[in-house]
C-alpha cells in the first residue's frame, strides 16, 4: 500500500486473510509498517529492518493486550505473509529464530510470492519485459522514492525520472495519495518513467543501490530455518517473478535445508495468495492442531501477528497455536491488485463458554 489511510490500524478495508485465520480458531494480528497508519514520516518500502521491528513491536504489544484481557499467549509463532509480506515473513522468522523475542519462539513459516531476490530475479524480470510493465513502474517508483528519502539515491528527481514525471511522481508517493491515484500517475513502463542512465543503474546495481538490494535479498541467504518451512508461488505471476521463490529455495538448499516450493499454478500475483493462504493454514493446523474446545466463541482477536491464546484462565489448559500474518491493502474492493501483506500473527480462540 502507498496510502497511510489504508494501513490496518485505521482502515476497515478487506480483512479476508485475518478472517480466514480467525475463522480457523486463531486470534490474528497485523502490524502497520513504519510510516503508515497514524505513524509519522514516510514508509520505507521494502526495508526489512523496519518491517521486522514493526512486527516484533506488535508481538510485544499483543502480549500486553492479552494480559489486560486475562488471557495467556503461548510463545510459539506461526509466520506467514504475501508479496512484500512474504519477504517480511522470512525476515521476521529469521529474527525470531535468532532470539529477537526472548519469550517467543518460531513455530513455522509459510512465505507466499515474495520478492526474495531483487538482484538476480526481480529486477532483471522487471526490466526485460517479463513482468507487467505498468505495475513495474508503480513498484519501482515506490521503491526508488522511498529509498531516496532514507539513503539519498539522487539529489534532483530529474537525475532519475524522465520529464514530466520528475515533477509529479515523487509527490505521488507521499502517503496521502491512494494506490489508484499513484497507478494512474505513472507511465506505462519503467522505460518511460526512468532516465536511461538510471535504468542502467537498476540493471547493473552498484554502490548504494547494490547495498540496499543485497540487504533485501538476505532473507533466504543469511539463515536456515530450524522449523518447518514452505514457499508458495505462482508460475504465472506477472508482478513478482516466480524465479524469486526458486532462488530462495536454492539458497536454503545450499545451506543444507530443503524447503518445499509449492507452485499454485498458472495464475497471477493476487490469485496466488488466494490459492496459497488456505493451504498454508491447513498446513499450520496439521503441524499444531488446535485445542479440541475450538467451538467456543473467540474472546481475543487482534490484528497483527500469530500467537497461541490459552484456553480459559492462565494455566488451566494448554495454549493454542497461532499464525502470524500481516496485511495491509487498499480499502477499495475494486482495486484489489494493490495489497501488500506482511507477516500475520494469531492466537486461537479462548475456550471459556
Domain boundaries, the chain: 4-115+231-348, 119-215
Average pLDDT over residues 285-311: 45
CA distance 140 to 154: 15
Query: What is the total residue count of the chain?
Result: 353
- The CATH topology of domain 4-115+231-348 is Rossmann fold (3.40.50)
Comparing CA positions, the residue from 75, 1, 63, 70 lying closest to residue 29 is: 63
pTM of the entire predicted model:
0.84
The predicted structure's pLDDT at residue 348: 35
Comparing CA positions, the residue from 153, 237, 250, 251 lying closest to residue 195 is: 153
pLDDT class for 338, splitting at 50, 70, 90?
Answer: very low
**pLDDT tens profile 117-127:** 999 999 999 99
Three-state SS for 336? coil
Three-state SS for 320? coil
The predicted structure's pLDDT at residue 75: 81
- The CATH topology of domain 119-215 is 434 Repressor (Amino-terminal Domain) (1.10.260)
The answer to which of 107-121, 135-149, 302-316 has the lowest mean pLDDT is 302-316
DSSP type of residue 314: T
Q: What angle in degrees, to the nearest 10, is found between the helix axes of 165-172 and 133-151?
A: 80
The separation between CA 171 and the C-alpha centre of its own chain, rounded to angstroms, equals 24
Contact 87, 217 (CB under 8 A): no
User: Is the pLDDT reported for residue 314 higher than 80?
Assistant: no
CA distance 305 to 302: 8
Average pLDDT over residues 152-179: 96
pLDDT class for 291, splitting at 50, 70, 90?
Answer: low
User: What is the phi/psi pair of residue 133, to 5°?
Assistant: -65, -35
> Are 4-115+231-348 and 119-215 in the same CATH fold?
no
pLDDT class for 23, splitting at 50, 70, 90?
Answer: confident
Amino acid at each position: 500500500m502507498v496510502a497511510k489511510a489504508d494501513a490496518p490500524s485505521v482502515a476497515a478495508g478487506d480483512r479476508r486473510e485475518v478472517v480466514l485465520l480467525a475463522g480457523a480458531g486463531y486470534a490474528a494480528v497485523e502490524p502497520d509498517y513504519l510510516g503508515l497508519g497514524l505513524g509519522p514520516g514516510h514508509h520505507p518500502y521494502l526495508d526489512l529492518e523496519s518491517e521486522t521491528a514493526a512486527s516484533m513491536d506488535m508481538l510485544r504489544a499483543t502480549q500486553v493486550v492479552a494480559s489486560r484481557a486475562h488471557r495467556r499467549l503461548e510463545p510459539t509463532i506461526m509466520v506467514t505473509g504475501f508479496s512484500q509480506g512474504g519477504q517480511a515473513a522470512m525476515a521476521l522468522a529469521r529474527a525470531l529464530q535468532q532470539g529477537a523475542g526472548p519469550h517467543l519462539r518460531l513455530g513455522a513459516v509459510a512465505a507466499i510470492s515474495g520478492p526474495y531476490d531483487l538482484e538476480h530475479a526481480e529486477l532483471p524480470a522487471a526490466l526485460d519485459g517479463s513482468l507487467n510493465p505498468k505495475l513495474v513502474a508503480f513498484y519501482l517508483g515506490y521503491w526508488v522514492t522511498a529509498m531516496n528519502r532514507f539513503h539519498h539515491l539522487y539529489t534532483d528527481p530529474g537525475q532519475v525520472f524522465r520529464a514530466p514525471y520528475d515533477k509529479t511522481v515523487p509527490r505521488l508517493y507521499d502517503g496521502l495519495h491512494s494506490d489508484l491515484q499513484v497507478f494512474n500517475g505513472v507511465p506505462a513502463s519503467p522505460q518511460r518513467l526512468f532516465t536511461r542512465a538510471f535504468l542502467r543503474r537498476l540493471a547493473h546495481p552498484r554502490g548504494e543501490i547494490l547495498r540496499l538490494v543485497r540487504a533485501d535479498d538476505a532473507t533466504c541467504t543469511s539463515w536456515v530455518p530450524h522449523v518447518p518451512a514452505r514457499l508458495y508461488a505462482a508460475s504465472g505471476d506477472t508482478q513478482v517473478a516466480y524465479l524469486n521463490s526458486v532462488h530462495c529455495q536454492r539458497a536454503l538448499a545450499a545451506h543444507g535445508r530443503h524447503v518445499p516450493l509449492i507452485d499454485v499454478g498458472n495464475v497471477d500475483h493476487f490469485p496466488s495468495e488466494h490459492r496459497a493462504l488456505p493451504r498454508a493454514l491447513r498446513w499450520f493446523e496439521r503441524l499444531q492442531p488446535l485445542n479440541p474446545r475450538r467451538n467456543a466463541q473467540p474472546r481475543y482477536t487482534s490484528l497483527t501477528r500469530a500467537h497461541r491464546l490459552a484456553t480459559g484462565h492462565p494455566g488451566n489448559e494448554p495454549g493454542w497455536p497461532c499464525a502470524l500474518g500481516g496485511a495491509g491493502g487498499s480499502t477499495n474492493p475494486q482495486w484489489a491488485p494493490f495489497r501488500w501483506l506482511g507477516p500475520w500473527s494469531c492466537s486461537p480462540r479462548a475456550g471459556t463458554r
